[in-house]
Chains A and B, each alone.
Chain A
Amino acid sequence: QSVLTQPPSVSGAPGQRVTIPCTGSSFNIGAGYDVYWYQQLPGRAPKLLIYGNSKRPSGVPDRFSGSKSGNTASLTVSGLQAEDEADYYCQSFDSSLSDEVFGGGTKLTVL
């Protein structure tokens, strides 16, 4: 059971917008620790998608955006494209464990 909770799957049609929530606690997201998001294509290493809650590394399309409020962070993908079909993971730091922690991952399906 992951410290950060994500839905196992979300889906949307091409062009639509989907949001993936990541729920933590007062020991991690709610404590103010930054949240990061990663995209993992099948058989590939993860790729950093969002850092510092809402910043995009160079080269990441602006269709991807991140936000945080209270104990929950969210990744929004706008204008869905077939190539966005992948697993998405949130990550933060947990002060009760003194560990970096990941969400369980969300599989995004483009219908």
Chain B
Amino acid sequence: KAGVTQTPRYLIKTRGQQVTLSCSPISGHRSVSWYQQTPGQGLQFLFEYFSETQRNKGNFPGRFSGRQFSNSRSEMNVSTLELGDSALYLCASSPPPTGGAGGELFFGEGSRLTVL
């Protein structure tokens, strides 16, 4: 069974640009969540999608957005990149029935974004 797949694995952008990251969850998982990991702030929750609807949102500015498609694949977008957005962005999926809610999360290897 394939795990959570994130693309691209590495990318470099400059300030002011935007970036889109993709996440393919494990087959059958309908909940997808995103986390940002930085040395200074650690692991922080960005948002969660379940059945194409945003179910939870962390404390990030509106420059961070996401969406989920009908096949449960998810994308997150960061617009007007800042130096502080340099981070490892991790996607996780969780199995039904509820997705999340105390359940095990399966993480991808992440997309490492560097903003110059």
Tell me if chain B binds chain A.
Answer: no
Interface residues of A (CB under 8 A from B): none
